[in-house]
């Protein structure tokens, strides 16, 4: 199988490598010529055998809309577009309709796995027609963790369901990080506690709160004891806000997620150990920049990324 991949940032770059590693031929396009395989979108389309499959991993909003619009004029009837960024689910019906006018098929796909997905695999949540999902299954199989059950992939439902699922996923992520962060601050506040990283490490096996996020919290503290090198300023990608808006619209109580979103706002007014850990976690799993505690440096890169991977900020990254 040979596909096109548009957007080679934090997620797209790693996805291209994982797909190639698993036998998928990928031609990638990015505005950064250092990482791009071709010079333009028309060049990308010309490289692909029909019926073409093009996966989009660019920032949500106007950038995604512009790429979809251009593809609508470049692709042919029967081709398939997979939109894998963090778009709001309401945009999917508009994008699908724009492409359908020219006979082009459309899937939306929520992608989770962060900068570690290249090696560990990704969780995938897809919305769209079952026949189109079946046509793209070799891609989903190549991207998801190897040797696991089908639970790492879900056909979530109709158009928009994949991005809706990813939105809720990221809202939950907000709440989980906030709970770990508040527990960390409580531990740090007591003189009788002498090994906070050791406590978090001890929670990683056999306890009911063990998780990958907890492992990343331990990693962050090992790399920066006391989190002295960063501030507690935490950005939000928007998906936490969207989750809260959906909860309000549906009349579904979501106090933990809502509180976590507001805690992000509080982080921008004062520094706290809890919000330092949230900032550090975002750097660990998503490669998001963190604010340096050194007045001479406003930002420090989070996580572990190559120069190529840092070339562009794309919306496929986690929250």
Picking from 117, 140, 159, the residue at the C-terminal end of a domain is 159
Which of the residues 83, 173, 182, 239 is marked catalytic? 173
- Domain span at 284: 167-305
Which helix H or strand E contains 317, and what residues bound it?
A: none
Indicate whether 132 and 190 sit together in one domain. Answer: no
Which of the residues 10, 118, 166, 276 is marked catalytic? 166
Residue 314 placed within a domain = no
Q: What residue spans of 77-121 are helical by DSSP H?
A: 90-100, 117-120
| Cis geometry, peptide bond prior to residue 51 (ω within 30 degrees of 0) | yes
The DSSP-derived string for 194-219 is --HHHHHHHTTSSSTT--HHHHHHHH
- Residue 265, pLDDT > 90, answer no
10 is known as an active-site residue? no
Residue 219 placed within a domain = yes
| pLDDT tens-digit readout, 41-65 | 999 999 999 999 999 999 999 999 9
Per the CB < 8 A criterion, the answer to whether 107 and 134 are in contact is: no
Residue 88 placed within a domain = yes
Percent over 90 (pLDDT), the chain: 73
- Residue 259, pLDDT > 80, answer yes
The confidence score (pLDDT) of residue 302 equals 47
Indicate whether 97 and 201 sit together in one domain. Answer: no
> Can you tell me the distance from the alpha carbon of 8 to that of 288, in angstroms, rounded to the nearest whole number?
16
For residue 268, what is the domain's CATH number?
Answer: 1.10.1040.10
Per the CB < 8 A criterion, the answer to whether 61 and 95 are in contact is: no
The DSSP-derived string for 218-282 is HHHHHHSGGGTTB-S-----SHHHHHHHHHHHHT---HHHHHHHHHHHHHTTS--HHHHHHHHHH
Average pLDDT for the chain:
89
Structure tokens that stand for 70 in this block: 């251009």
Residue 319 placed within a domain = no
> Can you tell me the distance from the alpha carbon of 308 to that of 95, in angstroms, rounded to the nearest whole number?
29
CA 164 distance to own-chain centroid: 13
Q: Residue for token digits 């990928």?
A: 26
Total domains in the chain come to 2
166 is known as an active-site residue? yes
The confidence score (pLDDT) of residue 187 equals 96
Q: Whats the size of the chain, residue-wise?
A: 319
- Residue 238, pLDDT > 70, answer yes
The confidence score (pLDDT) of residue 294 equals 67
Indicate whether 254 and 222 sit together in one domain. Answer: yes
Picking from 109, 143, 159, the residue at the C-terminal end of a domain is 159
Residue 198 placed within a domain = yes
> Can you tell me the distance from the alpha carbon of 58 to that of 15, in angstroms, rounded to the nearest whole number?
13
- Residue 156, pLDDT > 90, answer yes
**Which segment of 48-57, 148-157, 213-222 scores lowest on mean pLDDT?**
148-157
Q: Higher-confidence residue: 80 or 284?
A: 80
């Amino acid at each position: 199988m040979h596909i096109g991949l548009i957007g080679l940032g934090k997620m797209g770059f790693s996805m291209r490598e994982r797909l190639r590693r698993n036998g998928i031929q990928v031609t990638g396009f990015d505005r950064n010529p250092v990482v791009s395989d071709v010079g333009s979108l028309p060049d990308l389309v010309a490289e692909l055998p029909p019926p073409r499959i093009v996966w989009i991993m660019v920032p949500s909003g106007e950038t995604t809309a512009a790429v979809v619009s251009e593809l609508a004029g470049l692709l042919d009837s029967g081709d398939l577009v997979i939109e894998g960024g963090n778009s709001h689910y309401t945009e999917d019906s508009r994008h699908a309709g724009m492409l359908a006018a020219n006979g082009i098929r459309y899937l939306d796909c929520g992608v989770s796995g962060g900068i570690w997905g290249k090696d560990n695999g990704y969780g995938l949540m897809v919305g769209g027609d079952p026949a189109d999902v079946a046509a793209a299954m070799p891609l989903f199989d190549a991207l998801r963790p190897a040797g696991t059950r089908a639970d790492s992939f879900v056909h979530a439902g109709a158009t928009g369901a994949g991005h809706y699922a990813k939105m809720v996923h990221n809202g939950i992520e907000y709440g989980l990080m906030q709970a770990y962060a508040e527990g960390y601050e409580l531990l740090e506040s007591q003189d009788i506690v002498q090994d906070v990283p050791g406590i978090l490490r001890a929670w990683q096996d056999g306890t009911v709160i063990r998780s990958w996020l907890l492992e990343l919290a331990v990693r962050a503290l090992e790399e920066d004891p006391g989190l002295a090198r960063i501030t507690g300023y935490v950005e939000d990608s928007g998906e936490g806000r969207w989750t809260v808006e959906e909860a309000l619209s549906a009349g579904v109580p979501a106090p933990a997620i809502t509180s976590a979103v507001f805690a992000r706002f509080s982080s921008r007014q004062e520094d706290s150990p809890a919000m330092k850990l949230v900032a550090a976690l975002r750097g660990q799993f998503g490669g998001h920049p963190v604010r340096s505690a050194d007045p001479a440096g406003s930002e420090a890169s989070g996580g572990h990324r190559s120069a190529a991977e840092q070339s562009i900020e794309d919306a496929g990254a986690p929250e």
